[in-house]
Amino acid sequence: MNVMDKYVDIKGSKIHYVKNIQESGDIVLLLHGKRFTTRDWVESGLMETLERQGVQAIALEMPGYGKSEELDLNPEDFLAEFMKRMNLSPVHMVGPSFSGEISIRFALKFPDMLKSMIIIDSINVDKYEEKLKDIKVKTLIIWGKKDNVAPYEFAGILKDHLPESTLFTFEDLGHTCYFDDMKTFSEELIKFIKYG
């Protein structure tokens, strides 16, 4: 599998990430849910699929998850530090589950660092309902209609309040819809990145 396993020092903590070998083109930053790590993105085949499409993919492990050390920094500030340290141009940020909430917070604080945002079955969407209208970042919302962790109503809240958003629904899948049907997820992600 053509991926590079790497570490970077962020404020004294060793942070683990994996990158495909594509060196130019759009950058997709893959975050993860609480039960997952970079390995899941690699094993899903998505990073290779993106590489074949000429897209750079970086799967990042949040501090305290996988092989990344703990870091006393809130998640959105950590992501900004990582992107600056890696000298990344604006990225397409993929945030499933708890990383969906982190992506929302990031978009509110650092909108210029995002090319787009892909929110998948995010938790705690209702906490941000009043602020969502301030996010002008182009967003793809992906949801499993049978999600019993982050209810489908959250997808509706995002769609209704994010001005630049599109919703794609997996009718028969739940919280891990993107891994459960990686082929469809990959197609929708690539279509969104390339054509908006």
Instruction: Give the start-to-end residue ranges of the domains of the chain.
Output: 3-195
Stretch 121-128: mean pLDDT, rounded?
96
Q: Would you say residue 132 has pLDDT above 80?
A: yes
CB 17 within 8 A of CB 59: yes
**Predicted local distance difference test score (pLDDT) of residue 196:** 79
**Predicted local distance difference test score (pLDDT) of residue 156:** 97
**Predicted local distance difference test score (pLDDT) of residue 117:** 98
Q: Which residues pair with 140 in a beta bridge?
A: 118, 166
Q: State which fold the 3-195 domain adopts.
A: Rossmann fold (3.40.50)
Q: Would you say residue 78 has pLDDT above 90?
A: yes
Q: Tokens 């589950």, residue?
A: 97
Q: Tokens 């060793």, residue?
A: 14
**Predicted local distance difference test score (pLDDT) of residue 188:** 97
Q: List Cα–Cα distances, 159 to 49, 67, 68, 109, 143, in angstroms.
A: 27, 34, 33, 20, 11
Whole-number Å distance between alpha carbons of 102 and 86? 19
Write the CB contacts of 108 (distance below 8 Å, at least 6 apart in sequence): 128, 131, 134, 135
Q: Per-residue pLDDT tens for 45-70?
A: 999 999 999 999 999 999 999 999 99
Whole-number Å distance between alpha carbons of 106 and 76? 5
**What tokens does 134 get?**
């301030």
**Predicted local distance difference test score (pLDDT) of residue 1:** 61
